Amino acid sequence: MALYSYKHAREKADELIKKFGFSGPPINVRSIAAGLGIKIVELSLPLWFSGGLVLLDDKYYIALNKNLTPTQKMLTIAHEIAHHQIEHQEISYLKTRERPFYHVEADVFAEELCMPSALVKREAGKWYKDHRFLARLFGVDEEAMIRRMEELKLLPRGRYVWDKSYG
């Protein structure tokens, strides 16, 4: 079993944050995509399909499912930017068992781009680790922010349980 480090993915996301001059939340991934020359096209797509990076006539596009929540759209755009920036070899990135690393790496990049470690830590310190406020500040849903704060050891793991069937 190979061991992977996602440090490179996080560093690439942080480079984009600096390049585009973001010093605080929220991180506007749409403006980053535009700055990279990637056009976002929202389409009615099957529910199982969030989005994809497409190269057509030497131009990059993100096909984005317009039925996603705002958080899902932001993370999907960031995920597709990852495929563009990390320079994965193929242009077709449908999840398969042969290349799961590409998607995990892109998810790590997306999480770092939308909720940068340094900014989450800084803002959590200012706002007493209020995950609800931080979620609104970063433009993500509470579940995404809690998972990020758990990963950064700002909240204890397992304190929050998400039951999507409730209420």
Hey, what domains does the chain have and what are their CATH numbers?
A: 7-114 (1.10.10.2910)
Record the pTM: 0.86
For residue 153, give every residue at least 6 positions away whose Cβ sits within 8 Å of its Cβ, in sequence order, or none. Answer: none
Residue 155 has pLDDT above 70, yes or no: yes
Residue 130 has pLDDT above 90, yes or no: yes
pLDDT for 161:
67
Q: What angle do CA 102, 58, 112 make, to 5 degrees?
A: 35
What's the mean per-residue pLDDT of the chain? 87
The pLDDT-based confidence of 164 (bands split at 50, 70, 90) is low
pLDDT one-digit tens code per residue, 56-115: 999 999 999 999 999 999 999 999 999 999 876 555 445 444 556 678 889 999 999 999
Task: Check if the beta carbon of residue 120 is closer than 8 Å to that of residue 21.
Answer: no
Cα–chain-centroid distance for residue 4? 19
Q: Comparing 18 with 104, which gets the higher pLDDT? A: 18
Considering the chain, what percentage of its residues have pLDDT values greater than 70? 85
Taking CA atoms, 72 is separated from 3, 137, 163, in Å, by: 28, 16, 18
Q: Comparing 5 with 89, which gets the higher pLDDT? A: 5
What is the per-residue DSSP string for 90-155?
Answer: -S-----TT-HHHHHHHHHHHHHHHS-HHHHHHHHHHTTT-HHHHHHHHT--HHHHHHHHHHTTSS
Q: What angle do CA 149, 120, 17 make, to 5 degrees?
A: 130
Element (H, E) at 76: helix 70-86
Q: What angle do CA 58, 62, 64 make, to 5 degrees?
A: 155
Q: Can you say whether residue 38 is alpha, beta or left, with left for phi > 0 and alpha for psi between -120 and 50 degrees? A: beta
